Structure 1
Amino acid sequence: MLLVGWHAGAAPGVSRWWGLPGALFAAGIPLAYVLRGVRTGRLTDHHIPEREHRRVPLLFGIASVTVGLVALIVLGAPREVLALLAAGGTGLLVFTAVTHWWKMSIHAGVAAGTAATLTALYGPAALLSLPLVLLACWARIRLSAHTPAQVVAGAIVGALIAATVFPALSGS
């Protein structure tokens, strides 16, 4: 989100810091909700390993992204920041629907989606981020948080959503 905001700020008269409120609504507020759930004992840890406990935090994340998207539209945020929030919200909707039956890796989806978004914005040089995607995927398997199939599916879904929704809405 910060790199997208920075890219959007390259246009004259646009702040490079629009990614900060986007990051707050997409990650900061949902993470605070999850950490509060851990502190109160409703959730076992911030990774929410139990598939059946993921639905409410994911719905909260969707609500946070939606409120953020509306607020940033009203405030006149750049199109690229809005497109990334919309792509992230789309990803949350898909992962929330799938979570009812299967625990697809959201970490892998975000990592792959980030690489796809950065590639849409910065071109082939952003493909240098792919080792970080592989590292995130390896870590989810190594920690026994997901099966290889859950990680691969998450990465594919995240990359496909980012590679279609973000460019379509941002004009990139």
Structure 2
Amino acid sequence: MFKTLRADLRRRIVGVCFLNSATESHLVPGRLKVPDRATWCATVLSEVLSPSVVGAVSLLVVGYSATRLGDSGPAWAVALAFGCGGPPLVYAVKSLGGCGSLSMHLLEWRQRLATGLIALVALVVNLGLATGFHAPRRLVDFLAFSAGGIAVASLATAVWRISLHTAVVASLLGAAGAQCGLSVLAGLPVAVVMGWARVRVRAHTPVQVILGCSAGLAWAAFYCELY
């Protein structure tokens, strides 16, 4: 009984992760073929550590660091996480027809560019609101840093499909870690795991993953030099 329920749950998860994806070889007419464990884990990692999720977590980390300075950081961080991460996530889900893998479907450069522009507009709007309503300075600076990074990454991914996942993980987690007194390389271990996941699911080549990670670390180092 337990094995049957577990198998059914796994099929449902795989169905969400791989339906209409670039890895259609996993699908067999009339039935869903479960991929190997490594590919399944890589797909789940790509979903859990999607750019929108990483951006929201980074804002919460920066909000926590602002609290240590006596600012009302967490409340602002939660509001900004929804305001900045929500619009691009909604667009991605809508462009996929309401289901599928957010980490593997945006293969067309127009979709990637549109998602980046929507994220940039959301960041700029929330940056204006945060500045106008006197949000903690750390959060305002972090939003400005994120907006600049998204602008550069959107232009880059429109020309060549570098790994936006690894770039976002390396840059935002590195910058957020630096806000808490950690090294700018704080996001590197997670970026390495994400890079393996992106290559495993055949969403990127190793070169695209390495370039994305390098660009993210460079942007995080630039942020730490400024702030």
1:115 aligned residue: 173
1:145 aligned residue: 203
Gaps of 5+ in 2: 1-58
Tell me: CA distance 1:98–1:129, structure 2 relative to 1, closer, same or farther (3 Å). Answer: closer
Deviation at 1:40, TM superposition (A): 6.8
For 1:4 and 1:143, locate their aligned partners in 2 and report how far apart those are by CA, in whole Å.
31
Q: Deviations over 1:47-106 (max 9, x none)?
A: 312234211121111111111111111111111111211111111111111122200111
Asked whether the equivalents of residues 123 and 147 of structure 2 are also in contact (C-alpha less than 8 Å), the reply is yes
Q: Which has the larger radius of gyration?
A: 2
The correspondence of residues 19-38 of structure 1 with structure 2, limited to 5 A, is 19-38=77-96
The alignment yields a C-alpha RMSD, in angstroms, of 2.3
Deviates more, 1:70-79 or 1:111-120: 111-120
For 2:112 and 2:71, locate their aligned partners in 1 and report how far apart those are by CA, in whole Å.
41
1:158 aligned residue: 216
For 1:2 and 1:96, locate their aligned partners in 2 and report how far apart those are by CA, in whole Å.
24
2:129 pairs with 1:68: no
For 1:72 and 1:157, locate their aligned partners in 2 and report how far apart those are by CA, in whole Å.
27
Q: TM-score, normalised by structure 1?
A: 0.85
For 1:55 and 1:133, locate their aligned partners in 2 and report how far apart those are by CA, in whole Å.
22
Asked whether the equivalents of residues 6 and 17 of structure 1 are also in contact (C-alpha less than 8 Å), the reply is no
For 1:125 and 1:86, locate their aligned partners in 2 and report how far apart those are by CA, in whole Å.
20
Q: TM-score, normalised by structure 2?
A: 0.66
How many residues in Structure 1 have an aligned counterpart in Structure 2?
A: 167
Aligned to 2:176, the other structure's residue is in SS state: helix
Instruction: Find 1:7's aligned residue among 56, 65, 73.
Output: 65
Deviation at 1:139, TM superposition (A): 0.6
Asked whether the equivalents of residues 146 and 172 of structure 2 are also in contact (C-alpha less than 8 Å), the reply is no
The correspondence of residues 41-80 of structure 1 with structure 2, limited to 5 A, is 45-47=101-103, 48-80=106-138
Over 4 Å off, 4+ runs: 125-129
Aligned to 2:159, the other structure's residue is in SS state: coil
1:101 aligned residue: 159
Gaps of 5+ in 1: none
Tell me: CA distance 1:126–1:92, structure 2 relative to 1, closer, same or farther (3 Å). Answer: closer
Instruction: Find 1:132's aligned residue among 183, 190, 195.
Output: 190
